[in-house]
Amino acid sequence: MEGIVTSINHQQIYVSCNICGSSNEKLITTQNGYKVVKCIGCGFVYVNPRPTSETLKQLYLTYLPEKIEDPLLWDTYMKDVFAKAANILVKQFPDGGKILDIGCGYGFFLSRMKAKGWQVYGIDVSETAVSYASGHGLDVALGTLDNVKYEDKSFDVVTLFYVLEHLPDPLKAIQEIRRILNPNGLLLLRVPHTTPIVRILSLLGIKNNLYDPPFHLNDFSNVAIKGILKMAGFHNIHTFIGGVTSPPGAAVRLTTLFFGLLAEAVYRLSLGKFLLPGVAKTTIAKKI
């Protein structure tokens, strides 16, 4: 079921659906020269074919999301989302705990949790980010879950902010996270949801590259997130808006704020029943 490679062609690999294993898919759109497809079996949206892991590694050497070069801007960007996530974790673990932030970047979320008395660890593929975080007194490893092996039941909490959409095999990553969580452990993750926006823009005839392939390989709806977490053995899965990001650039910031606040309002007014499609959301899930 875990995104089996079905054939290799010109440095591109074809994969089956990472969630349900089906190879039955339909084309949604082509962006940046990559095909974005939807699984007929479960509705999961992903890039297929895609570059090999080796090619992706090369591409990530020069990758700067949103082209933000000043580390401190990241802290501002994520402030509200980090604050809300930290509140949840503190409520769930009032005595503190041990946390691993996967794709920790410059380590701003970990610094927050450290200030609250938690034992904090991070992992990231960016050398620049890891050396910045280490320079600020954080215990951060360079690499991925594939090459940094943690013991079974090592952490109370594992977090991934805007990471899962980048991973070639998200199901495998979530299974690995479940292994390294304590029995009472909690996973908290945040992903964007692009498909509804692309659908509206294409109805209006507006061309865009919002799927951001090949950096984003997956687009998770609420159903897909629930599906993949269940498949990996997680329980008590709960998705909510979880705050609003504050990107640099006034126009983008205002749009994000507008839709973020709208999503929060709709969620609250519907007593947690309606999650506005197309905005990023946070999900928590328990190991047991």
The footprint of Zn ion (CB under 5 A) covers 17, 19-20, 22, 39, 41-42, 44
- Which C-beta is closer to Zn ion: that of 39 or that of 229? 39
Neighbours of 30 (CB within 10 A): 11
- Which C-beta is closer to Zn ion: that of 17 or that of 100? 17
Task: State in angstroms the smallest separation of the CB of 280 from Zn ion.
Answer: 22
Task: State in angstroms the smallest separation of the CB of 223 from Zn ion.
Answer: 11
CA dihedral of 108, 111, 116, 119, whole degrees rounded to 10 = 120
- Which C-beta is closer to Zn ion: that of 195 or that of 256? 195
Helix, coil or strand: residue 7: strand
Q: How far apart are CA 32 and CA 153, in angstroms?
A: 40
Q: How far apart are CA 4 and CA 91, in angstroms?
A: 39
Radius of gyration of the chain (CA): 18
- Which C-beta is closer to Zn ion: that of 112 or that of 193? 193
Helix (H), strand (E) at residue 57: helix 53-60
Q: How far apart are CA 117 and CA 102, in angstroms?
A: 19
Task: State in angstroms the smallest separation of the CB of 195 from Zn ion.
Answer: 14
- Which C-beta is closer to Zn ion: that of 17 or that of 279? 17
Task: State in angstroms the smallest separation of the CB of 228 from Zn ion.
Answer: 10
Task: State in angstroms the smallest separation of the CB of 229 from Zn ion.
Answer: 14
Q: Which strand ranges, in their side-by-side order, compose the sheet holding 218-219?
A: 25-31, 34-39, 45-47, 218-219
Percentages of the chain per state (helix, strand, coil), in multiples of 5: 35, 25, 40
Task: State in angstroms the smallest separation of the CB of 146 from Zn ion.
Answer: 23
- Which C-beta is closer to Zn ion: that of 20 or that of 110? 20
